[in-house]
Amino acid sequence: MTWTDEELVARSRTGDMDSFNQLILRWERPIYALAYRVIGQEEDARDVAQETFLRAFRALPGFKGQAKFSSWIYRIALNLCRDWIRRKRRTPVSQMPEDLDLSELAAERGASESVEDLVARRELTAVVEEAMALLPEEQRTAVILKEYHGMTFQEIADLQGCPLSTVKTRLYQGLSVLRKHLRDRRLMPTAEQVVRVREH
């Protein structure tokens, strides 16, 4: 039987650690992915994810179900990410090394993926991480929540504590900066190139 989040939360509130661990199993990957994309450090993202669930368990008595469990836990994770950024006092940087690590490269390779494709994908990932690091924290968070976690504008506005129009502006500005960086790195055609292709 698959328990809903609300049912697992109710069981966890009685001190049932197994139920809470089921919640962790369900949400650890999205929370880790969020933390990794926001702060850009693999090990620190893992620590943030662990701390998120620890704080969530301790705060369960105060969680009355007024919001979705996922929204609540995302808020905890984002607050921790924000604390991490302020503590480190630097924007997150990509951890892609200058030289490709072939062992990691080989580990990621799919069954039908050539080495050249894998190298291209790794380079693309590096450029995207580099571009994301250029964004201010609010824009980066808005892009990540919308692009990778499928949240609505309203959900993002609630999480970030800002109006709906602000979320849309952040998204637009974030995507524009990313687009420019990707074009500069030749991962996307320039506007002139697009026009020329269309004219032909």
Amino acid letter for position 147:
E
Distances (CA, A) of 59 to 21, 32, 144, 195: 15, 19, 25, 55
d(CA 50, CA 71): 17
CB-CB contact of 38 with 92 (8 Å): yes
Number of residues that bind another protein (CB under 8 A): 61
Radius of gyration of the chain (CA): 20
Between 86 and 190, whose beta carbon lies closer to another protein?
A: 190
Interface residue with another protein, options 2, 4, 107, 111 (CB under 8 A): 107
Binding span for another protein by CB under 8 A among 1-9, 67-75, 77-85, 101-109: 101-109
d(CA 50, CA 73): 12
93 near another protein, rule: CB under 8 A: no
d(CA 5, CA 22): 9
Between 89 and 101, whose beta carbon lies closer to another protein?
A: 101
**Binding-site ranges for another protein (CB under 8 A):** 12-15, 17, 20-21, 24, 28-29, 32-33, 36-37, 42, 45-46, 49-50, 53-54, 57-58, 60-61, 102-109, 115, 121, 124-125, 128-129, 132, 143, 146-147, 152-153, 165, 168-169, 171-173, 175-176, 178-179, 182, 187-189, 191, 194
